[in-house]
Structure 1
Amino acid sequence: MPNSRNLLIVGTGNVANALARRFSTTDHVVHIGSRDAGRGAKAADRRGIKGGLAADLVQHAEVVFIAVPFTALDDTLEALGSLEGKVVVDCTNPLTDDYMALTLGHTTSAGEVCQAKLPGVPVVKAFNAIFADVVDSDPTYGGIRPQVFLAGDDTEAKETVAELVRAINYDPVDSGAMLSARYLEPLAELIIQMAYVQGEGTRITPVILRSDA
């Protein structure tokens, strides 16, 4: 597996479990971790991969996915310790408890907050605007592949994440610098509104279509 990377997915919720399932079908080595070793191990067992305490697994990871509620970001990063030399993927959205609104916007974003907490570590915003149900159940869309929007200030780190997106047969869309997380997080809220308020369900997903003319 010459292109294999060590991936650590931090979290045990729907997003983390969906990412673990999809990436476990690739040549990449996938672990799932939590601040609670038992919860991490249980989530990993369901996916047939290894897991446990995230702080014990992080040293070998090349790419670390933060797939926890935004309110748990501080505690999660503190528990992980140094992330120097790794690419961090921020999957969080700053949502209210009922998911019906954002708690940040206009002048900052969860992605920018995450990057500020990790100076010197490349952070890429990704997988925040695609439902876990889409990633986990892999529905079809008439030949159109789901897209994963990326934002970040480090071009090489974004390409690393783009390669991972392609490995699960999705299309990466470079949305620009981390500043664009201010727009990707409202996009996530839009599809939440469409799924739950408009009744579209959680297998909808946004795509950018480019004209061939």
Structure 2
Amino acid sequence: MIIGILGAGKMAQMLVPKLVSAGHRVILSNSRGPASLEALVEQLGPGVSAAESTQMLVDADLVFLATPWEKTAAAVAAAGSWTGKTVIDTTNNRRGPRPVDLIDIGSRGSSEIVSELLPGAQVVKSFNYEPIPVFAAGLPPEGDSGAVFFSGDDASAKAKVAELIRDIGGEPIDAGTLAEGGKLHGMGGPLSLKLSLLPPKEARALLAAARLA
């Protein structure tokens, strides 16, 4: 696939080598334009290019949303129409890792809000519930590990995301709908901050326990 990434920070830089190794092409975009990404694209090597977010969105088969929370609304609006796109939302309503960095969004999950910003898109939440280095080290996994939680409302979009997780060495674990699962593996939820990617059996047991809590 052609994978677009909106945002070119640590999340994007962790994902790109894994996606390229799996045979996908990657288009990076950010708010400052492709010229600002030339050095990074050169560093990341073949299979990676940069484009304006509007062009990235047209060309991509699937898009990772990897923007800081407070810049997300403006970034997705500037990219154009998201209708028909499968979007993996990696964002969290945080400014940083500390408890005081949490941004109050009320009772809804963060991806429910993101979904409203992307009318016509199929949003799947994933890659959000552990620090980025955990995903970097755990995909592909060493031994019996590498479970990756995801959640969403559209079956075809979830199937596409599950396939992509397998492509980069993970075992996809469906946590349910965007509202239910998104809260379970939102940062601070019962599926988050284990500081390693779990074995699939353990991940499924943890999910079952979280649903009963």
TM over 0.5: yes
Map 1:86-101 to 2 at 5 A. 86-101=85-100
Q: Which residue of 1 aligns with 2:36?
A: 39
Q: Does 1:16 align with 2:12?
A: yes
After the TM superposition, which residues 1-213 of structure 1 pair with which residues of structure 2 at under 5 Å, given as runs? Answer: 5-37=1-33, 38-48=35-45, 49-101=48-100, 102-104=102-104, 107-138=107-138, 143-179=143-179, 180-185=181-186, 186-187=188-189, 191=193, 204-206=196-198, 209=202, 210=204
Query: TM-score, length-normalised on structure 1?
Result: 0.82
State the Cα distance separating 1:24 from its structure 2 match: 1.0
Structure 1 position 104, deviation (Å): 4.0
- The separation in 2 between residues aligned to 1:64 and 1:140, in whole angstroms, is 21
Q: Flag the 1:190–1:167 CA change in 2: closer, same or farther, 3 A.
A: closer
SS in 2 for 1:128: coil
Gaps of 5+ in 1: 195-202
Please give the per-residue CA displacement for 1:152-191, whole angstroms capped at 9, x wherever unaligned: 1101101100000000010111000001212211249952
SS of 1:57's partner is helix
CA distance in 2 between partners of 1:171 and 1:67 (Å)? 21
**What SS class does the counterpart of residue 24 from structure 1 fall into?**
helix
TM value normalised by structure 2: 0.82
AA matched with 1:144: D
Which structure 2 segments of 5+ residues have no match? 206-213
Contact persistence 2:129–2:192 (CA under 8 A): no
Instruction: Count the aligned residue pairs.
Output: 197
User: In percent, how many aligned pairs have the same letter?
Assistant: 26
Aligned residue identity for 1:165: I
Structure 1, 71-80 or 134-143: larger mean CA deviation:
134-143
Q: What one-letter code is carried by the residue in structure 1 that aligns with 2:117?
A: K
